[in-house]
Amino acid sequence: MTEHTPTPGLRTDTTEEVAERYCDELLLALRMKDVPGNRIGEVLAEVRDHLASSGEDPVDAFGMPQDYADALTAGRSAARWSARALDTAGNAAGVAGLLWAVAGVTALLTRQPAVLTEFQIVLPVAVAVVAPLLVDVVVTARRATVLGWGLLVTVALAAVAVLYAWMGPLINVAVPAAVLLVPGLLVAAAWIIATARTVDPVVDPLQDAVSTTRRRRRDGLLFTALLLLLVVPVVVSVSLQRLS
């Protein structure tokens, strides 16, 4: 059989859109399996080439994105639990560092002592443990299951918020701003740098090494800038709240 040649006027954008939608879903499925960015780039390029050559429907040719990702990673050993635990601990420390730094800066700006509560310790651990699990569920589960989990998490968060507002913090220790600010800044900076270095973009196999390195750096900087952009409004709003 000869290679598929698109007929002018008949090959609409829809065919390419279907292929691109499939590639998007496949990318996500491969990311969830910790496949490196350069390998994902190769898989997607091969899928695009095959679909462009054959004119086939992506699901007919490769199966559902999740199943194709399973087939591509069959036989690969999953990440060890110790590596996952280390990741979770690192993320929890990073979020805690950010919270401490925000509390420290706010205390400095308002010239009041910083307040250490259980919120600054429990919340980062909860975020680091629950967030990856939720992402896993959203990506792999059926819609009904996702809605169920979403509802459960919303109800749990609301219950915790109401309980916290009613009872107040269990621990309430006033400390000098520097006690939270200095370790908070150090831990947050270390976490941001470490995470920015592990940014692993999806790379087109035909892209040269220089462009790939440049792209990695750009994505790392973008990640850092995004985090800082998230932190600044928090500092400003908390400071304003405490001043008022």
Partner 1 sequence: MLDLAVLAVIAQGQTYGYRIGNDLRDLGLGTVKGGTLYPLLARLEETGAVATTWREGKSGPGRKWYEITLTGRDRLLQEGARWRTFARLTSDLTDGPDTGTTSAAPAPASTRTLDAGAQ
Residue 11 makes contact with partner 1 by CB under 8 A: no
Coil, strand, or helix at residue 32?
A: helix
When binding is defined by CB under 8 A, the residue of 30, 40, 47, 192 that contacts partner 1 is 47
All residues at 6 or more sequence positions from 19 whose CB lies less than 8 Å from its CB, including other chains: 47, 48, 51, 52, 58
The 10 Å Cβ neighbour count of residue 30 is 23
When binding is defined by CB under 8 A, the residue of 21, 24, 36, 63 that contacts partner 1 is 63
Residue 36 makes contact with partner 1 by CB under 8 A: no
Residue 46 makes contact with partner 1 by CB under 8 A: yes
Give the contact letters, 159-198, x = binds to partner 1 (CB under 8 A), - = no.
----------------------------------------
Q: What is the DSSP letter of 3?
A: P
The 10 Å Cβ neighbour count of residue 36 is 13
When binding is defined by CB under 8 A, the residue of 84, 205, 226, 232 that contacts partner 1 is 205
* Tokens read off for 168: 């107040």
CB nearer to partner 1: pick between 24 and 67: 67
Burial-class residue 180 by CB neighbours within 10 Å (0-12, 13-18, 19+).
Answer: buried
Task: List contacts with partner 1 (CB under 8 A).
Answer: 1, 3, 42-43, 45-50, 52-54, 56, 60-63, 67-68, 71-72, 74-75, 204-206
